[in-house]
Copies of this chain bind each other. A is one copy, B any other.
Amino acid sequence: MRVVVIGAGGAGITAAIEAKRNNGDAEVIIVDKRKRIGFAPCALPYVLAGDIKSFDDIIEFPKNFIEEQGIKLLLEKTVIGINRSDKKVILDDNQELNYDSLILAVGSHSFIPPIKGVEGAELFTLKTIEDAEKLKARIDELKTKENPKAVVIGAGFIGLEMAFALAKNNINVSVIEVAPYILPVMLDEDFAKIVKEKIESDKLRIFCSEKVNSIEKNLVITDKSKYEFDLLVLATGVRANSDIAKNAGLEVNKGIVVNEFMQTSDKNIYACGDCIEINNIVLNKKNPSQLATTALRTGKIAGYNAVSNEKKSLKGVLNTAVTKIMGLTIASTGLTEFSATKNNIEFVKATISSKTREDYATKKNELIAKLIINKEKRIIGSQIIGDDEVVPMIDLLALAIKSGLSADELVMMEHAYSPLTSPVRSQISILAELCLKKLGVKKK
């Protein structure tokens, strides 16, 4: 059998590897219009910041590694159409590729909002290595300039990571966010304010609740002020690439529609990664989830199912995410209070600010955490700000949400304690108890 994968990003490559691993006899081909593939897009801001030395260091899937798995790479070829009745994809050089299973891993593109003057402006986005190289060249140019200025539009995590990278390059950065607070998808206002306070500096200023009205030459004009720039970065989100699916007559909404097996409305065509819509486990609503970890997991499912009769499934995602800015690790999973409210979900929440060790331990980090539970006591969301412990803590909470655990189970969770490593009681357990107390009060 032959599996054709369109797109050599994390989702596509993972799908191809999984297909080949589960059916060594299958011919697996990846087609991509790009020449340079297999890099970790999330790492781009950190290369610009100098935290990672070079673009060569962020190649997660080198071409020879992919080929060693027995996968064929067709690069610099654009798919111009899918002939579903004949099960063929048509390339821009008129080559036709038959498939038994087709996997769409066509990714996403930077969203450019319809701001007046945006078409003529010299602006930068950050999606590909080429984007990052262009940005790097511009940053290098600015090194000779006195007091260079940058404006970043959007204070999501890409926006903030970029702002941090520019500030590290000695550029004065103004970040403009239309929402009332930064990281509006990951955090609620209370936590966003804590982060903002910690990451702002003379070099990096953030302006929230400000709408960009127009871009004129080297000026960003908002509803409140004007910002001069030598460098303008747009970090206003990404959108699913779904034209190819739409043109082939597949069901498409905000992304390509798939079932829990990553099958599109055509059962021989799978889709995965940034280009799909996927179920949110807590909300039971579908939306794109444009995270590397979603790409890998949906890619794995698509690749496995493309070559197997017995199908694996993924019920959905929680959009568990983390970023590190100015030495601060910020993570979240599930719903924020804002998203719960918006979706008419009743909840209670608790917040603690504590140390990651008992008071007597000499090495201590600050940890600020929030837990949100619904009125049936189920965990529905969490936000944590701290240090290295944050990632597995949020992973634990994601597992708790996914497993439908009640807060009672977290109160009595088992926890590893030793004076120099951890507090005697896990902050998660304390938060669960605080939430239950509030719920008790609320019920009375």
A395 contacts which of B10, B322, B415, B424 (Cβ < 8 Å)?
B415
Judge whether B42 and A418 touch: CB under 8 Å. Answer: yes
Cβ of A52 under 8 Å from chain B: yes
Judge whether A403 and B396 touch: CB under 8 Å. Answer: no
Query: Which B residues lie within 8 Å of A31 (CB)?
Result: none
Q: How large is the interface on A (under 10, 10 to 19, 20 to 34, 35 or more residues)?
A: 35 or more
Within 8 A of B (CB), among A311-356: 314, 317-318, 320-324, 329, 331, 333, 356
Judge whether B292 and A424 touch: CB under 8 Å. Answer: yes
- Expressed in whole angstroms, the minimum distance between the Cβ of A3 and any Cβ of chain B is 21
Residues of A within 8 A of B (CB): 10, 40, 42-43, 46, 51-53, 57-58, 60, 291-293, 296-297, 300, 314, 317-318, 320-324, 329, 331, 333, 356, 358-362, 387-396, 398-400, 402-403, 405, 409, 412-422, 424-426, 428
Query: Which B residues lie within 8 Å of A417 (CB)?
Result: 42, 291-293, 322
Judge whether A425 and B296 touch: CB under 8 Å. Answer: yes
A197-B324 Cα distance, complex, nearest whole Å: 33
A392 contacts which of B42, B300, B392, B412 (Cβ < 8 Å)?
B392
A322 contacts which of B60, B314, B396, B416 (Cβ < 8 Å)?
B416
A387-B42 Cα distance, complex, nearest whole Å: 24
Judge whether B51 and A362 touch: CB under 8 Å. Answer: yes
A324-B422 Cα distance, complex, nearest whole Å: 10
Judge whether A324 and B392 touch: CB under 8 Å. Answer: no
Query: Which B residues lie within 8 Å of A58 (CB)?
Result: 360, 419
Query: Which B residues lie within 8 Å of A393 (CB)?
Result: 392, 395
Judge whether A360 and B52 touch: CB under 8 Å. Answer: yes
Given contacts A396-B399, A413-B399, contact A420 B51 (CB under 8 A): yes
